[in-house]
Amino acid sequence: MIQAFAFYLFAALVLASGAFTILARNPVHSVLWLILAFFNAAGLMVIVGAEFIAMLLVIVYVGAVAVLFLFVVMMLDIDFAELRSGLVRYFPLGLAIAVVLAAELVLGVGAYRAGALELGTPAAETAPLVGEANIVSIGALLYGRYLFLFESAGIILLVAMIGAIVLTQREARADAGRSQQNISRQVSRRPEEATVNTRPEVGQGVQL
């Protein structure tokens, strides 16, 4: 009983916060509703016994991705009158996206009603490890059977990371050297180099 109650609670909250994500006028509110949706999705994961996935969902999506989202969206200078004025121009595009999504939904429900897809019987090494915490079973699969897929995903991420670093390299740009901190110079600076003791005449002042 309590599972059903928890499921309907989380599912209803996911749907409601998902709806509010697109209905909210203010983009910051949208992001916050999105975060609530992530959170309740994590709750659904807990119900099916995938506590590791649930925690990762919160750590990665709520703790990192959504914070960066919020970081960017917070800095937007929102003019609500202007937001509404573009409606006619963007209406066809929005309609097209809506039609695609609706078609996918109908297809999905139709496929579901047609019966489950036959996936074949799992091989011995992919059979679920009974009685293990799911973090152990995920580890056994990732570092065993799917090792090469896992490693190639890692390489793709590494390349993406290097790409991002290269794009923001400062040396290549014209303003190289500007607004850069030289930490070793700052640390090795002594008071004798930074301050001078002078005894100026009255009314003379000092030359800086």
Site residues, other proteins (CB under 8 A): 28-29, 32, 35, 51-52, 55-56, 58-59, 62-64, 67-68, 70-71, 74-75, 133, 135, 181, 183
Residues 27 and 73: beta-carbon distance below 8 Å: yes
User: For the purposes of burial, counting CB atoms within 10 Å of the CB of 37, is it exposed (0-12), middle (13-18) or buried (19 or more)?
Assistant: buried
Q: Which residue has the tokens 């960066």?
A: 68
| Residue 85 vs 180, nearer CB to other proteins | 180
| Residue 107 vs 157, nearer CB to other proteins | 157
User: Cα separation of 201 and 97, whole Å?
Assistant: 78
Which residues, 6 or more positions from 24, have their beta carbon under 8 angstroms from its beta carbon? 30, 33
User: Cα separation of 181 and 186, whole Å?
Assistant: 8
| Residue 78 vs 98, nearer CB to other proteins | 78
| Residue 103 vs 161, nearer CB to other proteins | 161
| Residue 59 vs 127, nearer CB to other proteins | 59
Least distance CB 96 / other proteins (angstroms): 33
10 to 30, 57, 94: CA distances (angstroms): 19, 15, 29
| Residue 112 vs 143, nearer CB to other proteins | 143
Least distance CB 114 / other proteins (angstroms): 37
Which residues, 6 or more positions from 117, have their beta carbon under 8 angstroms from its beta carbon? 111
Least distance CB 95 / other proteins (angstroms): 31
Least distance CB 106 / other proteins (angstroms): 36
User: Cα separation of 187 and 61, whole Å?
Assistant: 38
Least distance CB 143 / other proteins (angstroms): 12
Least distance CB 62 / other proteins (angstroms): 7
Residues 19 and 7: beta-carbon distance below 8 Å: no
